[in-house]
Amino acid sequence: MKSISIKNLGKRFRRSFRGDEGILYRLFSIFKTKEKFEVLRNISFDLDSGETVGVIGRNGSGKSTLLKTIAGIYLFDEGSMVINGSVDYLSGFGHGLQKRLTMRENIYLMGLLRGLCKERIEELFEEIVDFSGLRKFLDSKVYQLSTGMLNRLNFSIIIHCLINKNSEILLIDEAFSSGVDLKFKEKFVLKMEELIASGSSVVFVSHNLRLIDRYCKRVIWLEDGRVIMDGNSEEVIAKYKGSNNDGR
């Protein structure tokens, strides 16, 4: 069974005003047709149930736009897309927390928003707090926490929610590069391995080619919004490194 089936997908954005453009320019621009540019062009691929595929490419190649389109955050302009199963989108952390609420209150709020009932959140509460390593800040307002602490809290909540939801389709967008310390990142990687091994279908975007090679047997290479290569991870990564891209 196919979890995702995409055929000739295209996505365009309208160019926004630059900060140095004056009011008069903007006023006259109301009467002009706004310029559009393509960010995804003729994208086609299938993802089998339980398969993990990596997506690589330079900044601006369309990786994150592709994931956001699959997640339904962006609407596509042409082509077709069929999704079989529930979709969870996992991006860089620190977003979604309500900064005027305490850490305790955010755990309950975000757990509910992620589809867990209050009773299940209570069962997971201690595990989430211990994983974050932020117990002494449990009743502090979130705006008082550093960026690294926000990332740790957000990751701890989201990863436990996703593991308990048994997500059918998981979209991971540069999550491994979130700004956390090395010790927490090691815990983070182990939890991500648990999540990826849970049987979900996974699309994994990262600049870290070692992690892509570690988790993905298949890799899609995007460039300028197009698929350059789709195949065995070792072969695709080798070609990508041998191009003019800054392969890592």
pLDDT at site 91: 76
Q: Which class would CATH give 94-166?
A: mainly alpha
**Which tokens hold the place of 193?**
């391995």
Answer whether residue 120 shows pLDDT above 80.
yes
Terminal alpha carbon distance of the chain: 33
Q: Does the pLDDT of residue 234 top 70, yes or no?
A: yes
pLDDT per residue over 141-181, tens digit each? Answer: 999 998 888 888 988 898 888 888 777 899 988 765 556 67
Residue 176: what pLDDT? Answer: 59
Portions of the chain given CATH number 1.10.8: 94-166
Model confidence pLDDT, tens digit, residues 89-116: 887 655 678 989 999 999 999 999 888 8
The CATH number of 1-86+167-248 is which of 3.10.105.10, 3.30.830.10, 3.40.50.300, 1.10.10.10? 3.40.50.300
How does the average pLDDT of the chain come out, rounded? 86
Q: Where in the chain is the domain with CATH 3.40.50.300?
A: 1-86+167-248
pTM over 0.85: no
- Rounded to whole angstroms, how far apart are CA atoms 27 and 62? 31
